[in-house]
Structure 1
């Protein structure tokens, strides 16, 4: 695919906040994202609830889940919830989906075998597409079975035109391993990995492009995205301390050198140089997740106003073409 410009998104860390979102909407930011677990080990929210708040508290930006752990949800219910939110937002919802599994107890509590999460996700995607396609749907599969189910579109008060988008909101596949890449190539509207270095992203582009070619899928319109933890400060040392403190606890098994590869930190000039490597690897929509425990709006503001203008698209190179050529 080709893209006319590089776009920025931001993660609403630590929780969606009305004033924070209003400030972000005044920046050159195209999207805001937030995920969540059902039974997280800390006091953080759930993905659909957070998405509803972001939908209600924004007017312009695209809003998305990064990510929704799809195997934990019944697809009929989540199809209705997402379709309603998309309609009320004027078609601004995107759905980043992942399989989860890092917190096994939430799978056990919900009666979902953790070993089935990949297959259950694939089947749920099929159900979502069918229900959003309109008309009655019957489905018989290993995880879900139902007959003659039809979603009734919601038309918000004062709406003039269709309720939501035909076919539903885009499904952006997240993950880090090859099964997720194959899922993106087969059934996703885009790819949104996390904790990836630019080199890993380039390899994922090649994998997705190759698999799409094998199954005869045209990736025109496919969204090449990346969820990147980072900190941008006037004081580069403070930014690096942000990342070490923020990610050191959550990902303490990763050495500092690895954190440096997957979580850019520093001054606007330093972070731009690092994020340019992601762009060169094929990313066209960067979701900046502030790896900081305070003043996350400051991180996003510097990223949008002083990092984004420094990024440039590779001249005359499309993402798929670069992948086929083995370009980094």
Structure 2
């Protein structure tokens, strides 16, 4: 402030009294504003004003109040850098950009095929007519840093012949009794290898059903089940004695036992939802009839529209088409028979 006063006195002596007084008044107000506002918000045009002023006035530093001279110099350098960046950026030419669809396809391939590398993905893209370099694929492809873990569906598919799943479901009777039905399903041909009914099943009873389902060293390699409390110590010991490894689903994850859940749903939707069960003997007859229909007549999408037991295709010359009732008339099997 002393320096400003001295400069004002000098200017007053030179005959610029009005300008000096106005300058003093403005600077006093700026000083008060600076004390109340630490850092005002400057706009782009404010910065440009000081950049131009710094290039045309030698004593521009003496008029600064809100910022330091280094700040104005930094503004100038930033402006020059942006200006030359815009000029040096090519507006045309170069490699064409990779479309969003191709980027998504590369990531999808990398996720679905963790054993592939960039060359494998590039080769697959070449077979699809996608023109992209292997270098670009490797740039967009993020390899895994740990060995890939196969998905649950992949595991089940690779071990269909050696996996059997089991599960319980309940059936109420006309008198209010609740019967428990145990189903053991082979994944290879979706065959129901065994079922049984009990009103009060136990771990020993469940273990005995596994023994009856696989006699004479026909036990599978893996047994897939949920975490029901009925699979107690007696069950686990008996299964281990048969050299069967148990695969236990995660808690509250029925989707990890899809084949057993699906066959139970089919039994309900295609049979039990349309009948009133009178008792255990009645339920056993119903399930026996449905299992026979399920194995011999019912086609499965997962088996290529075939049946678990295999159903040959009949030529048109085999005769007329007739309907054979199944499961008490709930379903029918259609065959060609000679007249």
User: TM-score with structure 1 length normalisation?
Assistant: 0.25
Greater relative CO (CA pairs within 8 A, separation 6+): 1
In terms of fraction of residues, the more helix-rich structure is 2
The TM-score, its normalising length taken from structure 2, stands at 0.24
Q: Greater CA radius of gyration, 1 or 2?
A: 2
